[in-house]
Amino acid sequence: MTFPDSSFSAIGSYLDAYAERLGAALRSVDSQALDAAQAILRDGHARDAMIFACGNGGSAAISNHLVCDHSRGVSCHTGLRPRIHSLSATVEVLTAIANDMEYAQVFAEQLRLLARPGDVLITISSSGDSENVVRAIAHAKANGIASIALTGFGGGRTAAMADVNLHVQADNYGVIEDAHQALMHVLAQFIRQQHMPSELVAACKF
């Protein structure tokens, strides 16, 4: 059964149902996978690795937003200097690769140019099956780049390919994207507070 499976006459009722689905989606995330994801990111920061993110559509916006929270956010009061780049952000590079090669290569080709072994890739895809995201993870696996895939629906190919899969059990694009956005914030804020004195955590806004 999908959401919504029938019409709603009141927007308040729709909000209540949506909030329930979003809460269930977040609770569905495997805690061990989440811990493995933060460990990869924490280790990447410690090694001064580059952390790349990518996604299409709404997931591209999450990828771009990730740069803010995982760079400025994580660095605030921690002494960390994260190096973060969204492969979805530069329209000039995206369109050049799409025009000269094919759209399916827009992320993998950027990784070929920018990434090095030991770097980290975060892919964001509701279906987990976008071809350009699949190819990005394939490049990562072949070149010593750790990968974290955020997925929804059935998980797609990236769920099985990534080193860590953060899967949300939901069948509505808005719910999945909201859950992925929340996971992006959770990872950034958890890493940030781990590198702060407890008394400073209580004094700061997150």
Kindly state which CATH superfamily the domain 31-203 is placed in.
Glucose-6-phosphate isomerase like protein; domain 1 (3.40.50.10490)
Question: With contact defined as beta carbons under 8 Å apart, do 124 and 55 qualify?
Answer: yes
Distance CA 4, CA 173 (A): 11
For the segment 147-176, what is each residue's pLDDT rounded down to a tens digit?
A: 999 999 999 999 999 999 999 999 999 999
Q: Which two tokens stand for residue 180?
A: 């992925």
Residue for token digits 């750790």? 146
All structural domains of the chain with their residue ranges: 31-203
* Over residues 70-80, mean pLDDT: 96
Q: Which of 142, 109, 148 is nearest to 125 (CA)?
A: 148
Q: What pLDDT is stored for residue 52 in this prediction?
A: 98
Asked whether residue 78 carries a pLDDT value surpassing 70, the answer given is yes
Q: Which residues contact 45 (CB under 8 A, 6 or more apart)?
A: 74, 80, 82, 191
Strand-strand pairing, 146-151 and 164-167: parallel
Q: 3-state DSSP call for residue 155?
A: coil
Is the distance from CB of 120 to CB of 96 less than 8 angstroms?
no
End-to-end distance of the chain based on CA atoms, in angstroms? 36
pLDDT in tens, 179-205: 999 999 999 999 999 999 999 999 999
Percent of the chain whose pLDDT exceeds 90: 98
Per-residue model confidence as pLDDT tens digits over 96-137 = 999 999 999 999 999 999 999 999 999 999 999 999 999 999
| Angstrom distances, CA of residue 115 to CA of 20, 31, 112, 174, 205 | 39, 28, 6, 31, 33
Distance of CA 159 to the CA centre of its chain: 13
When the pLDDT of each residue in the chain is averaged and rounded to a whole number, the result is 97
State phi, psi for 131 to the nearest 5 degrees: -60, -40
Distance of alpha carbon 10 from alpha carbon 186, whole angstroms:
31
Predicted confidence (pLDDT) at residue 1 exceeds the cutoff of 80: no
| DSSP structure class, residue 103 | G
Distance CA 120, CA 39 (A): 11
Encode pLDDT of 34-67 as tens digits. 999 999 999 999 999 999 999 999 999 999 999 9
